[in-house]
Structure 1
């Protein structure tokens, strides 16, 4: 079957599996335009239209939304009835976050995704002003895949201080603050691993982290976008952006919350 990335070559009738669920697409008989009605089992989901004039995207007629990929257009049509309320709750949550004078935004770049050590930590205030921006020597190997993304090579890391050297600077910046991250489980986990090595004590590492209030924007952002995964029965994870520089990511997260609010 032709790819949905080439809508002019799609058949009048075709089936596409999206999140393990089959969706049937039917072009109305009275048009040759790139428009299809989408059905899941016998349920009509809505109509999607390929727009090619200003960069290809899929327009969801009933929602008045554009999506780059056909799969995401269908995920938008699958939203639960609770989405409007979820969307509004996220809006108020973002407003509350942005007005907190104690807010800081954190991002960590690492040696890898498995057993990671920190190679860069960025921290900004709620206005995007830099509070901390430091490349680190992880005292461990950096995978080629990770180095290709964030640009921190063994040579660059070798001239940077280890995490232990920056703990005294980080402590007053994080303690007593609300710390906003994207995928808090990962960033907080990296810091816990570093602190465990620093203190040589898991309880001390956890106690250090508990002196900050950790807030994860990943799930709220997924709910705000509202792309429903039929396979997971939840809102689908959304990439925040393509930056692999810590401070840039902090500012990107802030600008996303400003857009939401």
Structure 2
């Protein structure tokens, strides 16, 4: 539907005091058809966006007004004679909008809808931070629900915090050899604030084919590594694991 069609589907306005107007009351008693012609003229002008102007042919042949009825409406000040016909004197004061006002309103509505669509398209486009998170997370299933959960999560928590925790979770999954089907969906992890959990990401060492045959030096080395790990910062742990920090 075009903007003009939407305007034509609107309605004509009359002041609430129309019924008590002395001129209308006089027409009611002396020339009821003229009162009807006045209302019909209001409606016609509103429908055709003429700002209250109507030519004589439309009055006569479309609305069926007689010459006497037109002259009476002019004499009462309801119509004003123009070169081509008449103008309804109180067209705008009755609350009817001009063509320009309606066009401006339609333009504003169109612009508002365009901005709304642009916001929606922006919301649907994955952000760079989310893509980084998605790459780091250990299970790539149901990306769209994860994107929705991500947008909620970053309202209260920094993206870096969530991404680093996702990396830690992925590392734990790798160390423990967790089967993929037991790894949480990203949306589930995000909705449960999974970044608040602590993950055991201490590296495992393969020292001998038979772990029961560990030498004293190797045993001491493992113990020292475990003690050092407890006091490392997250950044130091990531460097020890070969990460970027």
TM-score w.r.t. length of structure 2: 0.18
- Whose strand proportion is higher, 1 or 2? 1
Which structure has the larger Rg?
Answer: 2
- Whose helix proportion is higher, 1 or 2? 2
Determine which structure has greater relative contact order: mean sequence separation of CA pairs < 8 Å that are 6+ residues apart, divided by chain length.
Answer: 1
TM-score w.r.t. length of structure 1: 0.17
